[in-house]
Amino acid sequence: MPAITTELLTKFDVSGPRYTSYPTADRFVEAFGQSDYLQALDQRRTGPAAMALPLSLYVHIPFCESLCYYCACNKIITKHHDRSAPYLRYLAKEVDLHVQHIGAGQSVSQLHLGGGTPTFFSDDELSDLMAMLRRNFSLVPGGEYSIEVDPRTVTADRLAHLARLGFNRLSFGVQDFDPLVQKAVHRVQPASQVFALVEAARGIGFESINVDLIYGLPKQTPESFDRTLAQVAELRPDRIALYAYAHLPERFKPQRRIIAIDLPGAPNKVAMLARSLAAFEQAGYVYVGMDHFALPNDALAVAKRQGRLHRNFQGYSTQPDCDLIGLGVSAIGKVGATYSQNAKSLEEYQDLLDHGHLPVVRGLAVSRDDLARRAVIMALMCQGEVLFESIELAHLIDFQDYFAAELEALRAMQDQGLVTVGDGSVQVTPMGWFFVRGVAMVFDKYLQADRTRARFSKII
């Protein structure tokens, strides 16, 4: 693996976006509301590509039985499962309002249930949810239908039920197998439990099994994380998502329970990342980019080889850049040239629906400049290179003139071995992948104007 100097480590020990979108969600404004979102939905229905482009659906289920201290998700901690049924009714109301504007039977090629803990719902409630979605949308054969699974909430029988409902991809939240780390973040789950569930999922026939890991958690060391990496290599999931822990206790109250002195420093975090890359490469995984690994025959790795990789609010994806409808409290959507987000509190979400309104409370209409910069940033994040000509043809600009200041800023990164700037392209080097968020930040005009980045996680 490339050697990382102390100078680079110090320079990039800064906060920055993960670029699951551009502009990033912190740029959404309350001036964008239901009327703007309805206009985008109506344009989808009446536009020249009406019904032709498949949809992606995201359903947010916020409930969790217990609190994980590292969590930055929008969640409601409760052991009262009777809260599920009313929430399901509100999801149905929200879907009904969408169908009034886009029509019933729209094709869906990607569905993701996230949270919170989607498996907080009972089997019957998950059946009702999927039946409601199928009544209103057409889930196309061969689509990606995934659900996030807390291993502590499922059995082999429940996994079989998920398969019968049409889910073909599972994502298990593991984070770390080390018992001390699990105790420090209040998420204790034996490795044997995860191994048994993955074995059961394979027997059931799920197309892809993902495992989520987090480095930078309290009590972690490079050596302890090596043991987790070895166990994951033995587990051999189809995909691995490896995230850097973002410690932002001023924004996320649960993180205040984490003792800051227990957190590994930046050098150890980079060591964990470097050793993860080496361990997964040795185990036969393809480094898809930034935080994703996949076995060579997995659809994500195939998309990377073929240049068809995309990035959305769920991370890297094989699905084209299609419209995304977000359902549920705090869910984010992307329709046409707009982003939108639902109310973050359950009370406001329900109140808006009770009054017949879609629960959109903030968002953004994307400008021509945003679109051009988004194309550049996503090319860097997904393909590791930007071809000037493709951006010029799509956005009718002269790349070197339009991004003259950015290209000049990249010269310093080229001197540091992070990128190669040519006459017709910018390419990220193997070392540059460690800091690809920093490379992408060069093209973010909002960060250029606003240097207060504490709202974001650290790049490393």
Query: 115 labelled as ligand-binding?
Result: yes
DSSP 318: S
* Partner residues linked to 421 by β-bridges: 426
Starting at the edge strand found earlier in the chain, the sheet holding 286-289 runs 286-289, 292-294, 239-244, 208-215, 169-175, 137-149, 106-115, 55-61, 323-327, 332-335, 338-342, 360-365
- Identify the helix (H) or strand (E) that includes residue 363: strand 360-365
- Residue 187 in marked binding region: yes
For the chain, the first-to-last Cα distance in angstroms comes to 16
Token pair for 12: 């990039």
How large is the angle between the packed helices 388-395 and 368-382, nearest 10 degrees? 150
70 annotated as ligand-binding: yes
User: Is position 72 annotated in a ligand binding site?
Assistant: yes
Q: Which amino acid is at 290?
A: M
For residue 260, what are the CA distances in angstroms to 89, 216, 351, 364, 416?
A: 41, 11, 38, 35, 31
In angstroms, the CA 209 to CA 67 distance is 24
Q: Give the residue from 352, 360, 349 showing the smallest Cα distance to 87.
A: 349
Say if CB 455 and CB 24 are below 8 A apart: no
CA distances, 296 to each of 101, 197, 216, 299 (Å): 41, 23, 27, 8
Is 175 annotated in a binding site? The answer is yes
Burial of 156 (0-12, 13-18, 19+ CB in 10 A): middle
Tokens at 110, concatenated: 């990607």
Annotated binding-site residue? 246 = yes
Identify whether the C-beta of residue 87 lies closer than 8 Å to the C-beta of residue 27.
Answer: no
> Is residue 212 annotated as involved in ligand binding?
yes
Q: Does 391 belong to an annotated binding site?
A: no
Please give the single-letter amino acid code of residue 338: T
Enter the tokens of residue 216: 């930078």
> Does the annotation flag 460 for ligand binding?
no
Q: Is 68 annotated as a binding residue?
A: yes
Distances 380 to 280, 340, 398, 437, 439 between C-alpha atoms, Å? 22, 24, 18, 9, 8
Question: Hey, is 169 helix, strand or coil?
Answer: strand
In angstroms, how far is CA 393 from the centroid of its own chain?
29
Binding residues for S-adenosyl-L-methionine: 58, 70-72, 115-117, 148, 175, 187, 212, 246, 332
Binding residues: 58, 64, 68, 70-72, 115-117, 148, 175, 187, 212, 246, 332
Binding residues for [4Fe-4S] cluster: 64, 68, 71
